[in-house]
């Protein structure tokens, strides 16, 4: 098998998953989100255990300070499912 065929075979397996990227934007100051953090993390860990969460984490200012924004990558069937699964912390804020 030549390198092009080998690469195509490997990529075919990798590119079959739908991933949705969500960027969350806080409606309140980061300090107001702190009481919700443990519940949010428990929820996100639950998504990960169910195979729905690919990656997630906070975004920060250039100086390293938290700004309340977050980035989440989900493996779900459609965009609506992605939004519904990523919203608990925002609904409580």
Q: What is the pLDDT along the chain (93 residues), one digit of tens a residue?
A: 799 999 988 888 776 678 889 898 888 887 888 888 898 888 889 889 988 889 999 999 999 987 888 999 988 877 766 666 655 554 444
Q: Cα–Cα distance between 23 and 8 in angstroms, integer? A: 31
Residue 57 structure tokens: 């984490």
Distance CA 2, CA 47 (A): 39
Question: How many Cβ atoms from other residues are within 10 Å of residue 82's Cβ?
Answer: 21
- At 72 the three-state DSSP class reads strand
CA angle (47, 19, 61) in 5-degree steps: 80
Question: What's the pLDDT at 84?
Answer: 65
**What is the reported pLDDT for 92?**
44
Q: Per the structure block, which two tokens stand in for 82?
A: 């992605």
Question: pTM to 2 decimals?
Answer: 0.68
């Amino acid at each position: 098998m030549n390198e092009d065929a080998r690469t195509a075979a490997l990529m075919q397996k990798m590119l079959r998953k739908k991933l949705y990227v969500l960027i969350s934007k806080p409606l309140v100051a980061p300090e107001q989100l702190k009481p919700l953090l443990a519940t949010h993390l428990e929820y996100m860990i639950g998504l990960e255990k169910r195979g729905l969460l690919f990656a997630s984490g906070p975004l920060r200012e250039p100086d390293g300070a938290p700004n309340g924004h977050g980035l989440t990558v989900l493996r779900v069937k459609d965009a609506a499912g992605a939004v519904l699964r990523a919203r608990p912390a925002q609904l409580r804020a």
